[in-house]
């Protein structure tokens, strides 16, 4: 039965669809703060709740999610997804809820109070942030917002319930969260801290691989450890069982009886004998049996994957406070210019212009300008200064670009293509831009623009065409 008791309204907030279908959920308005309650709170427990709620900000639609015993585990993820991925959660179910910001073993008045206090700071931080945007930046910004509102940390834990064996409790219900975290770390919004390096099944990539010792000859795990006996007199070495006639130790080679340890013989070590193929080996091999697909990966073939904890950087905090990923605003501004092209499109144009240049020696110029370092810009100019800087940069570009020129944004760099412009004129354009920025924003805000030489064009074309 596919009954979804949750529904999302236009503002992305949780609504109760029908009380008939949500026996475990009820919304309560307490002193103007709507708290989403799931499960069955004990009779009368929430009566005194208004005391706690009085100080809360009435502007949030769902201030928090309170979980009580009786909620179906599957509904937690669903409730979070539908209410808001950022919603603070107080868990009083007595069961584990990795996403919870506060957990108590059972519902009680004091647990309620403690839970409310625990999430108060989270709510205060969330109030500093603009609403989450829709579109492709929503998920990455959700991660920034979650970290911003919770100590800046998104830490991993070992989790046997997932193939990767590592999950990020705060990111429960956000698919592909590790990939998003990795790309945010690449952009400098999070910094990594080593957590684990796990071995992966070579067939399915699962990290639920069981390490076992196996026979080097036949791969069987059916091994036994045998003691080696060394007969001094004849030098023969064999397993103890070969010497053992039931009563005494008799050398299978020279038939002498071994009487005294250290005088007649010693035991130099152990070996592994395979009960499947009968072979012995000094050292077994290590192999990994996949708990998900049963494939066996040999130790020498095993691949690893590194997992990190993530911490929001200053640039990440800024992205959260602005409600946009860095570069997005400049992209929006640039995209209004007549010569605006996608990187791929610019690559095609550059390719044909470069061909004309090679054949007929027609000049052109490519100028590459890194988008100003946001962190540095914030230190120098403050938050409003960054906005001013971006606007000014785009205005200056608009003035510099002629109708036949093109511009694109690629991996944090503004790429300008000026056909029929020789490098000397291109350099003049570049100098003028740098000078304007310096005049408007001071010596410290340098624009490190550079000319891309003709010989570098093919590799630039290749980079621009990627993806």
**Subset of residues 287 to 346 that bind Zn ion, contact rule: CB under 5 A:** 290, 292-293, 295
Q: How far apart are CA 8 and CA 5, in angstroms?
A: 10
Ordered DSSP codes for 69-130 = TT--HHHHHHHHHHH-TT--EEE-SSS--TT-SEE-SS--HHHHHHHHHHHHHHHHHHTTSP
Q: Are 430 and 381 in contact (CB under 8 A)?
A: no
Stretch that binds Zn ion, among 126-134, 196-204, 312-320, 393-401 (CB under 5 A): 196-204
Q: How far apart are CA 343 and CA 351, in angstroms?
A: 12
Stretch that binds Zn ion, among 11-19, 111-119, 139-147, 197-205 (CB under 5 A): 197-205
Q: How far apart are CA 283 and CA 369, in angstroms?
A: 59
Stretch that binds Zn ion, among 246-254, 364-372, 399-407, 408-416 (CB under 5 A): 246-254
Tell the smallest beta-carbon distance from residue 172 to Zn ion (Å).
24
Under rule CB under 5 A, residue 240 binds Zn ion = no
Site string for Zn ion, 249-288 (x = CB under 5 A): --x-xx-------------------x-xx-----------
Tell the smallest beta-carbon distance from residue 169 to Zn ion (Å).
25
Measured from the CB atom, is 119 or 251 closer to Zn ion?
Answer: 251
Measured from the CB atom, is 254 or 462 closer to Zn ion?
Answer: 254
Number of residues that bind Zn ion (CB under 5 A): 21
Measured from the CB atom, is 185 or 238 closer to Zn ion?
Answer: 238
Under rule CB under 5 A, residue 206 binds Zn ion = yes
**Subset of residues 4 to 43 that bind Zn ion, contact rule: CB under 5 A:** none
Measured from the CB atom, is 250 or 337 closer to Zn ion?
Answer: 250
Which has the closest alpha carbon to 443: 370, 367, 381, 368? 381
Measured from the CB atom, is 236 or 362 closer to Zn ion?
Answer: 236
Q: Are 93 and 40 in contact (CB under 8 A)?
A: no
Under rule CB under 5 A, residue 248 binds Zn ion = no
* Binding-site member from 27, 77, 204, 392 for Zn ion (CB under 5 A): 204
Under rule CB under 5 A, residue 113 binds Zn ion = no
Under rule CB under 5 A, residue 231 binds Zn ion = yes
Token pair 């310096």 is found at 438
Measured from the CB atom, is 4 or 203 closer to Zn ion?
Answer: 203
Site string for Zn ion, 427-446 (x = CB under 5 A): --------------------
**Subset of residues 208 to 227 that bind Zn ion, contact rule: CB under 5 A:** 215, 217-218, 220
Q: How far apart are CA 108 and CA 52, in angstroms?
A: 14
Q: Is the torsion defined by CA of 96, 101, 105, 107 positive or negative?
A: negative
Q: How far apart are CA 11 and CA 292, in angstroms?
A: 40
β-strand pairing of 413-419 with 364-370? antiparallel
Q: Are 55 and 4 in contact (CB under 8 A)?
A: no
β-strand pairing of 406-410 with 33-38? unpaired
The two tokens of residue 106 are: 């059972």
The two tokens of residue 354 are: 């470069």
Q: Which residues bind Zn ion (CB under 5 A)?
A: 201, 203-204, 206, 215, 217-218, 220, 231, 234, 236, 251, 253-254, 274, 276-277, 290, 292-293, 295
């Amino acid at each position: 039965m596919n009954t979804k008791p949750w529904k999302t309204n236009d503002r992305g907030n949780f609504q109760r669809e029908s009380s008939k279908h949500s026996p475990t959920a009820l919304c309560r308005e307490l002193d103007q703060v709507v708290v989403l309650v799931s499960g069955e709170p004990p009779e009368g427990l929430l009566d005194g709740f208004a005391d706690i709620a009085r100080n809360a900000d009435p502007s949030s639609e769902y201030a928090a999610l309170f979980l009580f015993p009786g909620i179906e585990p599957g509904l937690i993820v669903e409730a979070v997804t539908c209410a808001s991925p950022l919603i603070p959660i107080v868990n009083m179910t007595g069961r584990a809820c990795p996403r919870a910001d506060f957990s108590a073993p059972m519902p009680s008045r004091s647990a309620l109070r403690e839970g409310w206090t625990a999430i108060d700071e989270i709510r205060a931080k969330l109030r500093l942030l603009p609403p989450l945007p829709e579109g492709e930046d929503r998920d990455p910004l959700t991660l920034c917002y979650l970290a911003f509102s919770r100590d800046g940390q998104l830490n991993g834990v070992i989790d046997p319930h997932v193939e990767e064996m590592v999950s990020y409790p705060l990111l429960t219900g956000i698919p592909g969260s590790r990939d998003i975290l990795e790309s945010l770390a690449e952009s400098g919004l999070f910094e990594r801290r080593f957590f684990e390096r796990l071995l992966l099944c070579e067939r399915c990539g699962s990290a639920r691989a069981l390490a076992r010792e196996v026979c080097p000859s036949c791969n069987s795990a059916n091994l036994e450890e045998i003691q080696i006996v060394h007969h001094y007199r004849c030098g023969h070495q064999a397993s103890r069982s070969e010497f053992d006639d039931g009563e005494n130790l008799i050398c299978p080679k020279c038939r002498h009886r071994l009487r005294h340890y250290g005088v007649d013989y010693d035991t130099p070590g152990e070996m592994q004998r395979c009960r499947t193929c009968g072979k012995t080996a000094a050292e077994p091999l290590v192999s990994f049996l996949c708990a998900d697909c049963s494939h066996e990966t040999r130790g020498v073939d095993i691949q690893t994957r590194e997992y990190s904890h993530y911490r929001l950087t200053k640039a990440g905090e800024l992205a959260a406070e602005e409600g946009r990923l860095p570069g997005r605003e400049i992209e929006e501004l640039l995209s209004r210019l007549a010569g605006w092209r996608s990187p791929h499109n610019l690559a095609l144009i550059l390719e044909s212009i470069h061909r004309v240049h090679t054949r007929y020696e027609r000049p052109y110029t490519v100028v590459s300008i890194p988008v100003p370092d946001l962190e540095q810009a914030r230190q120098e100019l403050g938050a409003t200064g960054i906005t001013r800087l971006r606007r000014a940069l785009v205005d200056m570009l608009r003035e510099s670009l002629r109708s036949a020129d093109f511009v694109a944004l690629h991996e944090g760099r503004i790429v300008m293509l000026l056909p029929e412009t020789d490098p000397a004129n291109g350099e003049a354009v570049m100098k003028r831009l740098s000078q304007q920025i310096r005049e408007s924003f001071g010596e410290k805000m340098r624009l490190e623009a550079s000319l891309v030489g003709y010989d570098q064009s093919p590799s630039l074309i290749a980079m621009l065409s990627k993806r």
